[in-house]
A = this chain, B = another copy of it.
């Protein structure tokens, strides 16, 4: 029998996050490891009257491609997937891992090359989403590997995931709507504000949000969600920030990252572990040394770091910034093949001032 929490998650993804309507073209994407979740989502899509395209991948094949594909193969874009990204109405991705470290030995430059080749798919999805032409959501199906990454048993990790997505409650949709209302108040307060200053043991950074929009991330694109975010004015970022949580990219954990910004640009960067990957990401293109995102995590259902960015960046009491691509809806015009979130704990001796007013202190909003 299927875990009732998984059934609820499928319902949330299809009927709350992406609001599938009869006749819509719905892509269901995920690794074969996510099969039980893919099946539940598929059922909900059919029930909602949607037309499903399955895009099931396999990490073993992906790894083989990462290792062995030649330049022509890397540059090739599957025309059927291009058509999907250009025309479909809904994108539901269910991540699932058999081994979160399986890509450790793949060179960062190669990962980046493949990402870059497929950036038009990401562009199409995000651009069309910004124009209201595509609804999308990404989530994670709990596996032994993700549990292991998080130092938990599978049962504990399932509790964690379904807790974070509110699917341990009878009516997760109601809970998401409540969080959404709380966040909307903060977003409304931030309207028209200009200057943000972050201070604390891990950060001394200022940035401008003049003319930019904060978005209320309430479970429509990420499940779980729970953050408000914007794209800072690209050249306005100055100062430094240290990320005490490891940042996992392409299966490799980059630890102890410190970045120094001058006029928006990362002018100094170091990591205690996997520094080569950090440097490769920063060197990807013109936009990868600038911030595309500044965000505040609000989900107190996520009470611990687990090495999965989907959850980590929403941890209540943290902020995160992302180098690279910004979201156009925020006003950001930073373009890049990279979008890499890094998380900074604000729960101790930390403050955010907005236009001189104390907005946030030790992990809690103060307005």
Contact = CB atoms under 8 A, between A and B. Distances in A.
Contacts of A51: 73, 76, 78
Contacts of A60: 39
Contacts of A84: 79-80
A270 to B, nearest CB: 36
Contact of A32 (B35, B47, B53): B35
Contacts of A35: 32, 58
Interface string A68-109: 111011001011110110010000000000000000000000
A46 interface: yes
B54 A58 contact: yes
Interface in A344-362: none
Contacts of A22: 72
B83 A61 contact: no
Nearest to A81: B80
Contacts of A78: 25, 51, 53
A64 B46 contact: yes
A58 B40 CA distance: 12
A23 interface: yes
Number of identical monomers bound together in the oligomeric complex: 2
A72 B51 CA distance: 9
Interface of A: 22-23, 25, 32, 35, 38-39, 42-43, 46-47, 49, 51-58, 60-61, 64-65, 68-70, 72-73, 76, 78-81, 83-84, 87
A88 to B, nearest CB: 8
Nearest to A27: B80
Contact of A83 (B32, B38, B80): B80
Nearest to A75: B51
A61 B43 CA distance: 7
A232 B65 CA distance: 46
A252 B56 CA distance: 28
Contact of A69 (B46, B54, B81, B87): B46
Contact of A72 (B43, B47, B49): B49
Contacts of A65: 46
8 contacts: A32-B56, A39-B60, A49-B72, A49-B73, A51-B73, A54-B61, A56-B57, A79-B83
Contacts of A70: 49
B57 A54 contact: yes
A240 to B, nearest CB: 43
A72 B49 CA distance: 8
A247 B32 CA distance: 32
Given A22-B72, A51-B76, 9 more contacts: A35-B58, A39-B61, A42-B61, A51-B78, A53-B81, A54-B57, A56-B57, A79-B87, A83-B83
